[in-house]
Amino acid sequence: MKRVKKPAKIRFRQALFWDVDPKTIDPKKHAQYVIERILQLGNDNEVRWMYRTYPRRRLQSVVNHSRAIDGPTRALWKELVK
Q: Give the span between the Cα atoms of 1 and 14, in whole angstroms.
A: 33
Alpha-carbon gap, residue 48 to 38, rounded angstroms: 10
Q: What is the pLDDT of residue 10?
A: 80
Q: Which one, of 69, 60, 54, 57, lies nearest residue 4 by Cα?
A: 54
The residue extents of the domains of the chain are 28-80
Angle at 2 between CA 73 and CA 22, to 5 degrees: 50
Q: Is the pLDDT of residue 48 over 60?
A: yes
Task: Provide the whole-model pTM.
Answer: 0.86
pLDDT-based confidence at residue 9 (cuts at 50, 70, 90) = confident
Beta carbons of 60 and 79 less than 8 angstroms apart:
no
